[in-house]
Amino acid sequence: MNRNTNPLVRVAVIGAGIAGAACAASLREAGLAVTLFDKSRGVGGRMATRRAEWLGADGRNATLEFDHGAQHIQARHPRFKAAMRRAAAAGVVAPWSPQVHAAWPAPTRRESWVPLGSMSALARHFMGDMPVQLNCPVQRLQRSTLGWQLVAEDGSQHGPYDQVLLAMPPAQAAVLLAGHHDRWADHLAGVPMQPCWTLMAATQDLDWPWDACEPEAGRSPLAWVARNDRKPGRSAPAGVATWVAHASPAWTAEHLEDSPAAVQAALSQALAALLPRGVKLQWQHRSVHRWRYALPAERPAAASTECWWDAQRGLGVCGDFLAGTGVEAAWRSGDELADTLLAALDEETAAARPLVKPAPVAAPLLAAAAAAAAPRVLARAA
């Protein structure tokens, strides 16, 4: 769109998940100087794929893939649908219509998208070759007459920046906002986020008729089970099935501080109970991951919009917890924050633009035109 092509406007986006990537991409497309920061080794946030080495029956190493965060993407909003179609045309995502077994409603096919190669491919697609500082946990923000400075955990400083946008779980954003925007910090500190323990497992291939399963609430520790190797762009060695199983928020909260070994044993037993009876599972790989901030439980009481922006301070907040839940909500919030910031910059530019006065030479011409028009005006009045 390039409506504001001023690269002197410096923006730091903290958090390289979908919300941060969408926000940063729109701002950079408009011509601003944008840098992304993330505490992790890679981008994508909860759009994550883990790989594990597996020793096959032939004694050779093989790679197993597990999409252990967000499972797929559903697009409903017109702008997000358009973004997904562009990503599909670029070969970044592919459609997936899994046969999902659920206690209620009846088993259904769900139309969705899956990034190819890894779930983080979509965030990388949005970002392009944008500057990214990885392995950089931002510990606090400092503001001076020069702008914002980001102070990392190792003491290094980054900046100055004119605008700082936070695209991270609310509890983490609240820490950075404290002392700069206490009202926002108080709101975000109280936003509940649901945790999730995830089991990643490989077994022998099974005659399982479903691509995914949603166990009935209260009857299993698990809320979602998927055959990861049946997703587009995923694979597994011959004779091997790969599984991703998400524990329910309630079960996870109850066992949040349990040891990984204990969680792995419990979730393995729960997965086995959902698979064909009488089959003795041959576990070939098992591991677990704990997401402390997996899903928003509810929107903040102060969230009347899909993002928060304070033009006076040059501070913004975006994330799925402000727009709903899921990948689309994260994208919408980040995209909306970018639009809000750009609109504010447009208003500043318009306000600073000097008024154009008629040149003195134009005065005689205007007088002559008025004199010539006078008889016609009088004639119509008569």
Q: How far apart are the C-alpha atoms of 334 and 314, rounded to whole Å? A: 16
pLDDT at 350: 73
**Percent of the chain beyond pLDDT 70?**
85
CA gyration radius, the chain: 27
**Percent of the chain beyond pLDDT 90?**
70
User: What are the pLDDT digits (tens) for 12-30?
Assistant: 999 999 999 999 999 999 9
Q: Name the phi and psi angles at 63, rounded to 5.
A: -105, 130
CA distances to 228, 323, 335, 349, 354 from 343, rounded to whole Å, are 42, 20, 12, 10, 19
Q: What structural domains does the chain harbor?
A: 1-47+120-191+298-382 (3.50.50.60), 51-75+100-113+195-295 (3.90.660.10)
CA distances to 110, 191, 194, 267, 295 from 199, rounded to whole Å, are 23, 26, 17, 7, 17
User: What are the pLDDT digits (tens) for 95-115?
Assistant: 999 889 876 555 555 679 999
In DSSP notation, 199-230 reads: EEEEEE------SEEEPPBTTBSEEEEEEGGG
H or E stretch including 245? strand 240-247
**Residue 353: DSSP 8-state:** S
pLDDT at 354: 62
User: What are the pLDDT digits (tens) for 81-94?
Assistant: 999 999 999 999 99
Q: Are 195 and 347 in contact (CB under 8 A)?
A: no
